Amino acid sequence: MSLRTIRLILWGLVLAAAAALAVQQWTMRETAVDSFRPDFALQDGKGQTYTMADFKGRFALVFFGFTNCPDVCPTTMSEVAQVMDDLGARADQVQPLFISIDPERDRRQGLGEYVAAFHPAILGLAGDDAATRDAASSFKIHFSREDDPAAPDGYTMSHSPGLYLVGPDGEWLRQFAYETPAAEILADIEKRI
């Protein structure tokens, strides 16, 4: 074997080792990011406080939104409603949650009625500003108030549009991107039930 061939083999081994190390580090980083237990302490329309522990043993489909949302929120709630209908007898194994990022206005405008209009199983939750921020931080989502003279009360809310699946043990499982079809969400949940 020539010296050139030996060098090529050695460089190939170095590159393979570097690639393996990069994959291992990426996998460890993904595990660290993906492995967490979100939580909150928020109230329904009757004042009852809920935390993730209240849904132990069931999957939770969690969405952060607001009742004046013109598109993302109603679209996502419609998908959630379809998933719940399609689950049929297994629907009792999934709790859909709508967490308000605009709690004061949403309570005033009827958060419970808003979510019930989509599906009776959806539970609307809201807290004070601190509890809302804590819940959003726990799920690693962003929201903010933005001035908009054309919107009701002169403002709207910007927010992360994902739908989050939490397992029966409270472990975060995955995020569904905005406009993920109900059939895809259903298929994922059915594989886990």
The top-level CATH class assigned to 42-192 is alpha beta
* Residue 173 pLDDT greater than 90, yes or no: yes
Q: Where are the domains of the chain?
A: 1-35, 42-192
Q: What are phi and psi of 96, to 5 degrees?
A: -80, 135
CA torsion 71→75→77→79, rounded to 10°?
-170
Percent of the chain exceeding pLDDT 70 equals: 82
Residues 154, 54: Cα–Cα separation, whole Å: 36
The model's pLDDT over 117-167, given as tens digits with 9 standing for 90+, comes to 999 999 999 999 999 999 999 999 999 999 999 999 999 999 999 999 999
Residues 170, 38: Cα–Cα separation, whole Å: 7
The mean pLDDT value for 97-118 works out to 96
pLDDT at 174: 96
Residues 166, 161: Cα–Cα separation, whole Å: 16
Residues 17, 21: Cα–Cα separation, whole Å: 6
Binding residue per annotation — 193? Answer: no
* Residue 11 pLDDT greater than 90, yes or no: no
Structure-block tokens of residue 152 = 């009701």
Strands 94-100 and 123-125: parallel
Residue 7's pLDDT band (cuts 50, 70, 90): low
pLDDT at 35: 66
Contact 160, 141 (CB under 8 A): yes
What's the whole-number average pLDDT of the chain? 88
* Residue 102 pLDDT greater than 70, yes or no: yes
Percent of the chain exceeding pLDDT 90 equals: 81
Residues 127, 111: Cα–Cα separation, whole Å: 12
The whole-model pTM stands at 0.81
The mean pLDDT value for 45-72 works out to 96
Binding residue per annotation — 119? Answer: no
Binding residue per annotation — 73? Answer: yes
The model's pLDDT over 23-34, given as tens digits with 9 standing for 90+, comes to 455 443 333 445
